[in-house]
Each structure stands twice: as structure tokens, then as C-alpha cells.
Amino acid sequence: MSAAEEATHLTAAEQALKERFKSEGPGVGRVQSTARAAATSTRVDQIALPLEERGKMPFTADKYLVKENPELVQWERETRRFLRKLSPRHRHRVSAVMIWEWVTGLKMQELVAGGGSANADLRKLNRILRFYFGDSRSTYIMGRKVPKCYDVKEGYLIKRHRPLTLTLYAEYCAGTLNP
């Protein structure tokens, strides 16, 4: 056996088939056809960008084809604005009520005393905060009990965290999400 034959791991039959098809060339002697070559479009060739100059592929997966709640998207924008204002130099404790009061300018105690409710908004805010910071816990802030509070660790920057909603996620991937 020669050194070339020792280097291959092909059987004799595989080697014979390989030699037979290699000598004929690709596509030669296979299926004969009398059909003409397919016509090409010069218009598409003129307007199409080269592959290396094309942009990113669009979001086409099924999980992205979702109609989102516009209120959830807007509350996430406001939550990100709130978190952007926090200093990364130390830890923080954040609750949905804090964000709601900061955004609306109303006090929750006054709203409840007047017979109003912001439960739907608070549920959305808690869902967003749970996505960013994990489970909540009960704590006291300035002597007042806060039942659902989330820990923001030192050095946390919201611009590094991907959004919950897909509308904001598309902006995040494109680099246009502010904050």
C-alpha cells in the first residue's frame, strides 16, 4: 500500500466511485435536459445590494410577531427614564408606586382617598420591575412599609439591560432606544 492509500479511510468501492465522478466533472453525464437556461432579471441585478453591504435581517421569528399592549410599552419607557436618573454609585430600592408617583405627579394616598385606583398601572410596573430585578421583597423606606420593593444593585445602568417589550427591544437592537 502506498502512503496516499494509507492516508485515506475510504473503502475500495468508495474510492472507485470518487474517481469515476471526479473524472466526469460536476454535472456532466448526469441528467440530460433540452431545456434552455432560466431567464434572469436585469432589474433585480441592478437594484440589489451586494451581500456584504446589506443590513441586518429583520425580526421574522414567530415569537416577535406579537401585538403588544401599548400601555405596557409606554410604562416601560417611563420606567427606563426613572431608572436612568438613579445614580450607579450606590444601591437603591425601587417600587412601582414610586415610579407611578414620579411619572404622574400625583400621590397614591390622595388617589386612594379620593376613591381612585391605579392597580392596572401598578401591575404593569411590577411586571417590568420583576423582569429587570427579579423577585420583590417587603421593606421600610423612610418609616413607611413598602410591600413590593426591588433592589437595584450598585453600578446598574439601564442602557445595558434589554427591554421586556418587543417594541422597545427592536429599538434596543438598532441602538436607537433612549434611555
Instruction: Answer yes or no: do 102 and 154 share one domain.
Output: yes
59 inside domain: no
Q: Residue 174: its pLDDT value, please?
A: 84
The Cα–Cα gap between 62 and 39 comes to 34
Confidence of residue 82 (pLDDT cuts 50, 70, 90): very high
Confidence of residue 175 (pLDDT cuts 50, 70, 90): confident
85 inside domain: yes
pLDDT at 85 over 60: yes
Residue pLDDT, tens place only, 2-26: 555 556 677 888 788 777 766 555 5
Number of structural domains (the chain) is 2
Instruction: Answer yes or no: do 76 and 107 share one domain.
Output: yes
The Cα–Cα gap between 155 and 127 comes to 22
Q: Residue 63: its pLDDT value, please?
A: 64
The Cα–Cα gap between 173 and 56 comes to 10
Instruction: Answer yes or no: do 47 and 125 share one domain.
Output: no
Instruction: Answer yes or no: do 26 and 71 share one domain.
Output: no
Q: Residue 91: its pLDDT value, please?
A: 94
As given in the structure block, the three cell numbers for residue 52 are 456584504
Most confident of 15-24, 45-54, 105-114, 128-137: 128-137
Q: Locate cell 466511485: which residue?
A: 17
Percent with pLDDT over 70 in the chain: 86
Instruction: Answer yes or no: do 116 and 136 share one domain.
Output: yes
The Cα–Cα gap between 135 and 140 comes to 17
179 inside domain: no
pLDDT at 97 over 90: yes
- Containing structural domain, residue 47: 3-53
Cα separation values, 137 from 96, 125, 129, 134, Å: 12, 15, 12, 10
Q: Locate cell 492516508: which residue?
A: 7
Q: Residue 142: its pLDDT value, please?
A: 86
As given in the structure block, the three cell numbers for residue 44 are 433585480
Instruction: Answer yes or no: do 78 and 121 share one domain.
Output: yes
Instruction: Answer yes or no: do 42 and 72 share one domain.
Output: no
